[in-house]
Amino acid sequence: MTAALSDVSTAVARRGAATARKAGLITSMVLSGLIILLCVGVGIAHTVFTLQGEVELLLPAAPVSDGTWSELSPKITSGTPESFILTLEGVESEGLAQYAALMGVGFAAIALFFAFVYYLCHRLYRGKPFGRLMTVGFAVSSAVMIIGTVALPSAWTNINERILVDAGISLADAPFTAGYVLGAGDALTLALGIFLALLAAAFHIGSRLQRDGEGLV
């Protein structure tokens, strides 16, 4: 009797876990779809406003000499300003098209990544996580994140400098530079890219073992 009750409890627990897992996967697919739509909408809005001459630049602060800080108080030995958000309107610059294109590529990359997440959740829901397309998806996502993190600073620096110069802003007198602000998001993106590379390797091995197992049946 006790064994029978234990088996029933185990079966109920397994069904509950399976139901919760399916609910989680469905929720993830819905959220991925919403994020894709959000990326498309925000990307289009950014492109329209940018091409109309409205742009918002995130710029690193220019170095400030320690003497400037000591003028405020002799107790201040140094200071480190971080960044400025500069909003421009009515700008005419060839850099705006490059800015819009780079932002569009960024939002498209995010949308494609979450489309891949949707596909991954769908395969997990069906109980078929492994496959060649999954391995390729992880590998491509990893490459885009790692290459993007490395290449973006130079690209944004050139675009920012072009827009600022065409807007008539003298960088020699400005409290900011035309560089790129490296933040926690960049470090997180790089770490995620490396993690996805490891997942790609794991899925490649899993797919091969699955094919070998199917060949033995």
Per mean pLDDT, which range of 17-21, 141-145, 208-212 is the poorest? 208-212
Q: What is the DSSP letter of 217?
A: -
Residue 134: what pLDDT?
Answer: 79
Determine, yes or no, domain membership for 14: no
Determine, yes or no, domain membership for 70: yes
Residue 34: what pLDDT?
Answer: 94
**pLDDT per residue as tens digits for the range 26-78:** 888 999 999 999 999 999 998 888 888 888 888 888 776 656 656 666 666 66
Determine, yes or no, domain membership for 138: yes
- Domains held by the chain: number: 1
Determine, yes or no, domain membership for 83: yes
Residue 5: what pLDDT?
Answer: 46
Question: Is residue 151 scored above 80 in pLDDT?
Answer: yes
* 3-state SS class at 109: helix
Domain range spanning residue 91?
30-216
Contacts of 114 (CB under 8 A, 6+ apart): 32, 35, 36, 39
CA angle 186, 188, 192 (to 5 degrees): 120
Q: What is the mean pLDDT of residues 136-155?
A: 87
Q: What is the mean pLDDT of the chain?
A: 80
Token pair 């496959």 is found at: 131
